[in-house]
Amino acid sequence: MESVRKTFGGSVVLRDVHLEVAPHTVTALIGASGSGKSTLLRCANLLEEIDDGAIWLDGEEITDPGVDQDAVRRRIGVVFQAYNLFPHMTVLDNITLAPRRVHGVARAEAEERARELLERLGLAGKADAYPDRLSGGQQQRVAIVRALAVRPRLLLLDEITAALDPELVGEVLEVVRGLKEEGMTMVLATHEMGFARDVADQVCFLDGGVVLERGSAEQVFGEPRHERTRRFLRRIV
Ligand code: ADP
Ligand code: MG
């Protein structure tokens, strides 16, 4: 992201945001509620139109007006706080819907990939279950499988553990850790500071729509440069 600016009805929500995400790295976005984390992720996925600046993916300017936005979105997986599974579909159908309908993958191939992912994420027995039969942690893991089913280049995770009971947070964070080990490129907004410190290669502290601080986890958590960052971390850790 280069000089990205986003406004909603005259109020500036992202201001001159620069962000570079290297392949196979994890970037954590931290900051108070309302600091712009979700908006940044939504802009990255072209769910929101930016007012100024540019966003690039694999060397292509995806904010160029001539770009095929659907094709861009197909390369980016997104998981939100609320799992958003379709309640009337089985786990398997939830996962294979996009590969089949949007990517034109044959049913057998889509199901094979889905079952392989379910097994990897510890959900092997759940393919034929409906979402309401699963725990929150399991539902969120299915949402991650669904995002992975289309083989995205980049995964955006927006506070994916925020709606979970505390005892279910760990199993979802373990999945993210596993994906990192497999080399998945991820950008995640999180309030789990211990996890961010542990898993992130890069940490961005957002404050009022500005990336106030950006550095390694060690630097941002260990020696924050700004008083505002220090105050935020004191409050939350
Ligand atoms: P965070 O995810 O860090 O809590 P958000 O990106 O959700 O922050 O919100 C940043 C700011 O943008 C907030 O002030 C919020 O009220 C505002 N905002 C977000 N989405 C919209 C929208 N669709 N319309 C108007 N204002 C919005
Ligand atoms: Mg948010």
Distance in Å from the first CA to the final CA of the chain = 28
The average pLDDT across 2-27 equals: 97
The average pLDDT across 129-133 equals: 96
Name the percent of the chain lying above pLDDT 90. 88
How high is the pLDDT of residue 97? 94
pLDDT in tens, 108-126: 999 999 999 999 999 999 9
> Over 70: is that where the pLDDT of 237 sits?
no
Pocket of ligand 1 (CB under 6 A): 8, 13, 31, 33-39
Report the alpha-carbon distance of residue 43 to residue 49 in Å, rounded. 6
CA of 176 to the centre of ligand 1 (A): 25
Which segments within 127-201 are labelled E, that is strand? Answer: 154-158, 186-189
Tokens 């007012």 sit on residue:
51
Report the alpha-carbon distance of residue 163 to residue 223 in Å, rounded. 30
Task: Return the higher-pLDDT residue of 168 and 91.
Answer: 91
